[in-house]
Amino acid sequence: MARPLRLQFPGAIYHVTFRGIERRTIFRDSRDYKRMLEALEEMADRHRVRVYLVCLMTNHAHLLLETPRGNLSAFMGQLLTSYTVYFNLRHRRVGHLTQGRYKAQVVAGDEYLLKLSRYVHLNPVHIKGAEEWPIEERVRRLRAHPWSTYRSYAGLERAWPWIEYGPIRALIGKGAGGAAYRGFVEECLARSEDDFRAVYRSARLALGSEEFQREVEQKHIAMGRMRRRKEDVSFRRLLGRCEPKAVLEGVARAFGVKPEDLQKRRRNADFRAAACWYLHAQGGLTQRDAAMWVNLKSGVAVAYQIRRWQIMSREKRLCSALEKLPADWSR
């Protein structure tokens, strides 16, 4: 079954969320939070993504960002792959870290964007039991949360150099400073925001006016038609997929090892990670089928190796091997 379409276009503004698999913790300590922020900064610069705000919680994260190049999937793919590889290696675990695909909702750049920024920044006091806290405690907890851009928006700490503050601040009012935004957000600690929450939760593809939602819906329909045409062409091309044996021989040759070495378990072997990638991408194998060709126990193990290769393939030390690995072995 095909994955649901990911609507992408230049200049789109998204509310992106992702959470731990089975709602498990994805940030165990300050080192994990810092690593995610470092990855965000790096990937935003690499993909020219404008990050408006961030709020990291123990088992999930919220991002509000703009993609001038219409490249959300590339940005998020590398961000989550990078962090998952780091997290799994550091905490000695394997397998998926996040639950399913990340969610991305297109947002209108108007009052909906401003209200959404408040909704996201209030996450530290939207947790279970927080409604019982006195207002003073909720204010304290909100202002103390270090893994959110709220403190910098509210003038409680210096601006983060890679965050784009302009669009949100412009919606508050010309010349508005941290105190104005702080008042806008914290006034909701003493009253309900149920109306906006209802609108947010009912919005499927987009958050904005009815006209904006119709416009996004039309783009989504057009993308569906385009993908169906592409999938028809891709299906015919499957007949030209390279045989798994040829893939393994090519990888072995590029790395200067024997094909049978790809079957041997060796910790952090670059060539095994490459073999998993090419069996899946060029051999057309499922991750489970690829596991049998490289003597791994499961498709999850292959997925881990594929993510490793996506990260390692950018390293200069592998340039020589990469030059010997063709982009399409079916030709």
Q: Return the CATH number of the domain spanning residue range 12-223.
A: 3.30.70.1290
pLDDT value, residue 326: 61
Q: How many CB atoms lie within 10 A of CB 325?
A: 19
Kindly state which CATH superfamily the domain 241-323 is placed in: DnaA protein, C-terminal DNA-binding domain (1.10.1750.10)
pLDDT in tens, 305-315: 888 887 777 67
Which H or E element spans position 118? helix 111-121
Digit-coded pLDDT (tens) for 216-254: 777 767 665 555 454 444 433 433 467 888 888 888 888
DSSP secondary-structure letter at 250? Answer: H
Q: Supply the pLDDT for residue 234.
A: 41
> Model confidence at 43, in pLDDT bands (50, 70, 90)?
very high
Is the pLDDT reported for residue 19 higher than 90? yes
Where are the chain's structural domains? Answer: 12-223, 241-323
**SS3 for 168?**
helix
Residue 290 or 322, more confident: 290
Model-wide pTM > 0.85: no
pLDDT tops 60 at residue 327: no
Render pLDDT for 124-148 as a digit per residue (tens, 0 to 9). 998 888 778 888 999 999 999 999 9
Q: What is the DSSP string of 186-236?
A: HGGGSS--HHHHHHHHH-SSEES-HHHHHHHHHHHHHHHHHHHHHHHHHHH
